[in-house]
Structure 1
Amino acid sequence: MPKIAFIGAGSAVFTRNLLGDLLTYPELDGSTISLMDIDANRLKAVESLAKKMVEQEGSKMVIEATTDRSQALQNADYVVITIQVGGLKAYELDIEIPRKYGVEQCVGDTIGPGGVFRGLRHLAVIEEICNDLEELSPDALILQYTNPMAILCWGISSMSSIRFVGLCHSVQGTSEELAHIAGVPYEELSYWVAGINHMSWFLRLEHKGRDLYPLLFEKMSDPDTYALDPIRFDLMKHFGYFVTESSGHASEYYPYFRKRQDVLEQTLAKFTHPRHGWFKFGQTGGYLKHCFEVADHYYEDIEDQLKADKIEIRRSREYGAQIIHSIETNTPRRINGNVTNYDLITNLPYGCCVEVPCLVDNTGINPCYVGDLPPQLAGLIRTNVNLQELAVLGHIHRDKTLVKQAIKMDPLTAAVCSLEEIDNMVDELFDAQKEWLPQFD
């Protein structure tokens, strides 16, 4: 049975969901789950929750917990990375410092000043994890869930020979939403999605051979449907395809939606559906405020589950457990994974990180060839890839100038700030976050 290490296991919701997924596969019963986190209190709480879940299901899974990363990685077959270096303290700096310069990020975890600095903090640790794995478990497969996905996966590819795949739930969640909008059973939906993480596009969307895009364009004219995802429908209207990342997140990946106060107000006014409560909370930077609210109730939520008669366990839409099951049992599946672009998407740069369909079985992760994306989509993506490349090089070469150049490539920041303002903002971010950026000492 495999050993599955969770690095950053204190992410209780994610750890609970993925462990729950693993428990739904009888063939994986008897696996060892090694929970690792640097926060001993969070780790203890998650360990208690995991042991209750295993006991409740009558499973033979072995739960172990440690603050020693090497112990968790020793002889690991799979390594799940869900870290958040610097926690909410660092995340708040990602949002608040750029805001002083007029850069109003919504989430700030993918590109932009927030995404780049989150990436640098995490690359400092992920490089160490890869070095450890090369010594302790060179055949392990990393299941990388931490954002910014593309920057981190590109970094792993550039720094290490350890196998990896980056995983997100955007494709699954968006396909479910599109099936609902189209009024077709999800199981009958057929799609082909490719691009980069948080900017992948439904290149084909069909129901029993029928193209659903004409129906989507028709549905978009309904105000209630449009309110579900106004930014994504705007992008579809202008560029012809539906994108994977939700409207709130997507609003900061392009230069169109948040660059001036009047434009920002117009964008915010589009978020009328109740599902966007977190986005409206505080008007901007709302996700940060949402995260603080969740953190305030972290231990209460775990205590409630520990006191409950039964913890609900049902299979989620996450790919992680599906991949492990496919490899261990030779059960073929298709997922969308973040991998290195070795001529998979031919009009995006060779070696960048792309999100493409992948076939999984006991041979591992096998990415599918996509070919050229529609040129307008490739053009939008390249603006993000330019930033990602320079951010990775900034980490590898420990070069702050490259980091500044990365953020100068950011579509939103470039639409708001002068070159000198960006330099000043990046200097301020480096000074405020130096405790989490040891590679730049």
Structure 2
Amino acid sequence: MSFKIAIIGAGSVGFTKKLFTDILCVPEFQDIEFALTDISEHNLGMIKAILDRIVEANKLPTKVTATTNRRQALEGARYIISCVRIGGLEAYADDIRIPLKYGIDQCVGDTICAGGILYGQRNIPVILDFCKDIREVAATGAKFLNYANPMAMNTWAAIEYGKVDTVGLCHGVQHGAAQIAEVLGAKSSRELDHVCSGINHQTWFIELKLNGRPIGKDELVAAFEAHPVYSKQEKLRIDVLKRFGVYSTESNGHLSEYLPWYRKRPDEITRWIDMSDWIHGETGGYLRYSTETRNWFEKEYPQFLEAASKPIDPAKRSNEHASHILEALETNRVYRGHFNVKNNGVITNLPQDAIIESPGFVDRFGINMAAGITLPEACAATCMASINVQRMSVHAAIAGDIDLLKLAVLHDPLVGAVSTPEEVWQMVDEMVVAEAAWLPQYAHAVPAAKERLSKAKVKTREWAGAARRSVRSIEELRAEKAALKQAG
């Protein structure tokens, strides 16, 4: 087979390499073209060198090109994969820093909550630019695979306003299933048959069978509470399982910021999180991790380049959906996964226009969703709160409506649990002014926001958060990796 895959945001070096090697694990795909594009020539140069080394080491006919000209990369592409981070770590730092001044403590801040909503405002205009290019220069019927957060908002905009065939992809379901299989004593997650449904980052394991045997709430709670590691790392997640009756796909830290109950006061935050790793609830944890990862990659790049000389091992193909979707579409080998698409009746008790994440099957006819799923009422209620925020956020981003943006932030579950309307109005003004370089649709609103901030009456504080850690140096990271290697 010969076709073209374009990767936008290919400067996300580690993830691009994973997608690339996964796709090349499909025997029929070795003669395809990868067109890499990014706004950073530096990052493009690094990832192209790595992928070229992989092609050379494995003696493949695969073609790899790299350009900062996005339309050139998209020209004739059958598949387009996006893994962009609009505004980079600079804007992301404001997504965490500014809400902290108003008492809003986020672990990740890339899906909803104050940070995720502003992240969506930065992404959506660019997503629509991608879609315009796809419509104009990509292959007829090209499919857009969006990995970029905020997943639901980006996918919503691409489908509703970009008018491009789009699917949103995430790996939360796979990670959650692996946890459940482990606590139940399974040898492999393949022994676990699971149905997950909801919205991205708020998806729920509504049906579980281990080797054909149904698993109920009580057995699952007991298994998690008996686990020596997860019982400590996933305290909040286990508490939600006890109360809702079903397990969430999302990590302790992610889930904590989508709900109004666990991060509303500093003492509550420290009660429910675990500091053994960022993902379990650390304040600004993903920002710290991302910063350290970028610094580590820059410093240790020669080692990453050397590692690219190893043969591709199909046994190490990851469970990221992209390669399996492409394989199913092109070869008709059926693939079952969980995909982000417009609801349209898939989940009976969520709105039709919402972007849901639910089971589907892929073959040469496309992605076919399993329809008629009804969520437990508590799960549906929790999802509805986020869907309403997402809908307002998308509409605000399209219209450049700062008043609607403020209402979206006001209705966010965690923001609403922490902040007053006056605080929200001032915080959004501050975030829009700070991130104006990436918010062209709000250019008309920035002067008035600045004027209001000059007369601001709401008191703020410089607060690091309830559980913040400093970014570690390269030397500290090396020492930690050496200690882990010795212990292992």
TM-score higher than 0.5? yes
CA displacement, residues 300-358 of structure 1 (integer Å, 9 cap, x when unaligned) = 34321223483464301100011111111111111100000101111111111000111
Of 187, 198, 219, the residue aligned with 1:195 is: 198
Structure-2 separation of matches of 1:438 and 1:169 = 31
Letter of the 1:434 counterpart: A
Q: 1:161 Cα shift?
A: 2.1
Closer/same/farther in 2, CA of residues 42 and 221 from structure 1, 3 Å limit: closer
Letter of the 1:71 counterpart: Q
Structure-2 separation of matches of 1:188 and 1:290 = 32
Mapping for residues 382-393 of structure 1, pairs under 5 Å: 382-393=384-395
Q: Which has the larger Rg?
A: 2
Structure-1 separation of matches of 2:114 and 2:311 = 38
The answer to whether structure 1 residue 207 and structure 2 residue 207 are counterparts is no
The answer to whether structure 1 residue 243 and structure 2 residue 277 are counterparts is no
Q: Could you say which residue in structure 2 is the equivalent of 1:2?
A: 3
What count of residue pairs does the alignment treat as equivalent? Answer: 435
Letter of the 2:76 counterpart: N
Q: Is the Cα–Cα contact under 8 Å of residues 194 and 370 in structure 1 kept in the other structure?
A: no
Letter of the 1:82 counterpart: C
Could you list the structure 1 runs, at least 4 aligned residues long, displaced by more than 6 angstroms after superposition: none
CA displacement, residues 150-189 of structure 1 (integer Å, 9 cap, x when unaligned) = 1111111210221011000111111111101101132221
Greater displacement, 215-224 / 76-85: 215-224
Letter of the 1:284 counterpart: T
Q: Could you say which residue in structure 1 is the equivalent of 2:61?
A: 60
The answer to whether structure 1 residue 291 and structure 2 residue 301 are counterparts is no
CA displacement, residues 108-144 of structure 1 (integer Å, 9 cap, x when unaligned) = 0000110011111111111000011111124110110
Structure-1 separation of matches of 2:332 and 2:95 = 42
SS where residue 203 of structure 2 aligns?
A: strand
Closer/same/farther in 2, CA of residues 40 and 233 from structure 1, 3 Å limit: same
Letter of the 2:301 counterpart: I
SS where residue 128 of structure 1 aligns?
A: helix
Greater displacement, 97-106 / 201-210: 201-210
Q: Is the Cα–Cα contact under 8 Å of residues 182 and 212 in structure 1 kept in the other structure?
A: no
Mapping for residues 24-173 of structure 1, pairs under 5 Å: 24-137=25-138, 138-173=140-175
Structure-2 separation of matches of 1:230 and 1:57 = 45
Structure-2 separation of matches of 1:380 and 1:277 = 24
Closer/same/farther in 2, CA of residues 46 and 373 from structure 1, 3 Å limit: same
Q: 1:440 Cα shift?
A: 1.8
Which residues of structure 1 form unaligned runs of 5+?
none
Q: Could you say which residue in structure 2 is the equivalent of 1:220?
A: 224
The answer to whether structure 1 residue 264 and structure 2 residue 269 are counterparts is yes
Letter of the 1:212 counterpart: I
SS where residue 426 of structure 1 aligns?
A: helix
SS where residue 45 of structure 1 aligns?
A: helix
Structure-1 separation of matches of 2:110 and 2:156 = 16
TM, length-normalised to structure 2 = 0.87
Q: Could you say which residue in structure 2 is the equivalent of 1:230?
A: 235
Letter of the 2:251 counterpart: S
Structure-2 separation of matches of 1:60 and 1:243 = 42
Q: Could you say which residue in structure 2 is the equivalent of 1:400?
A: 402
Mapping for residues 350-365 of structure 1, pairs under 5 Å: 350-365=352-367
Closer/same/farther in 2, CA of residues 189 and 43 from structure 1, 3 Å limit: same
Q: Is the Cα–Cα contact under 8 Å of residues 7 and 36 in structure 2 kept in the other structure?
A: yes
Q: Could you say which residue in structure 2 is the equivalent of 1:381?
A: 383
Q: Is the Cα–Cα contact under 8 Å of residues 252 and 280 in structure 2 kept in the other structure?
A: no
Structure-2 separation of matches of 1:351 and 1:380 = 17
Greater displacement, 67-76 / 217-226: 217-226
Structure-2 separation of matches of 1:370 and 1:298 = 45
SS where residue 422 of structure 1 aligns?
A: helix
Structure-1 separation of matches of 2:209 and 2:285 = 35
Q: Is the Cα–Cα contact under 8 Å of residues 121 and 439 in structure 2 kept in the other structure?
A: yes
Q: 1:279 Cα shift?
A: 4.8
Letter of the 2:433 counterpart: D
Structure-1 separation of matches of 2:166 and 2:153 = 13
Structure-2 separation of matches of 1:101 and 1:362 = 50
Q: Is the Cα–Cα contact under 8 Å of residues 339 and 353 in structure 1 kept in the other structure?
A: yes
Q: 1:295 Cα shift?
A: 1.4
Q: Is the Cα–Cα contact under 8 Å of residues 53 and 308 in structure 2 kept in the other structure?
A: no
SS where residue 168 of structure 1 aligns?
A: coil
The alignment yields a C-alpha RMSD, in angstroms, of: 1.4
Q: Could you say which residue in structure 1 is the equivalent of 2:480?
A: none
Structure-1 separation of matches of 2:94 and 2:308 = 40
Letter of the 2:72 counterpart: Q
Q: 1:57 Cα shift?
A: 1.5
Greater displacement, 59-68 / 309-318: 309-318
Q: Is the Cα–Cα contact under 8 Å of residues 142 and 165 in structure 1 kept in the other structure?
A: yes
Structure-2 separation of matches of 1:9 and 1:370 = 37
Q: Is the Cα–Cα contact under 8 Å of residues 2 and 77 in structure 1 kept in the other structure?
A: yes
Structure-1 separation of matches of 2:401 and 2:340 = 26
Letter of the 2:426 counterpart: N
Structure-1 separation of matches of 2:27 and 2:116 = 38
Which residues of structure 2 form unaligned runs of 5+?
444-488
Q: Is the Cα–Cα contact under 8 Å of residues 390 and 402 in structure 1 kept in the other structure?
A: yes
Structure-2 separation of matches of 1:2 and 1:150 = 28
Structure-2 separation of matches of 1:11 and 1:416 = 34
Q: Is the Cα–Cα contact under 8 Å of residues 23 and 57 in structure 1 kept in the other structure?
A: no
CA displacement, residues 266-314 of structure 1 (integer Å, 9 cap, x when unaligned) = 123xx16x4x25657xx41122112111111222343212234834643
Letter of the 1:41 counterpart: H
Structure-1 separation of matches of 2:154 and 2:307 = 37
Structure-1 separation of matches of 2:279 and 2:210 = 32
CA displacement, residues 179-211 of structure 1 (integer Å, 9 cap, x when unaligned) = 011011322210111000000000111112212
Letter of the 1:33 counterpart: F
Structure-2 separation of matches of 1:307 and 1:52 = 8
The answer to whether structure 1 residue 372 and structure 2 residue 377 are counterparts is no
Q: Is the Cα–Cα contact under 8 Å of residues 305 and 311 in structure 1 kept in the other structure?
A: no
Structure-2 separation of matches of 1:362 and 1:156 = 22
Q: 1:223 Cα shift?
A: 6.4
Letter of the 1:436 counterpart: W
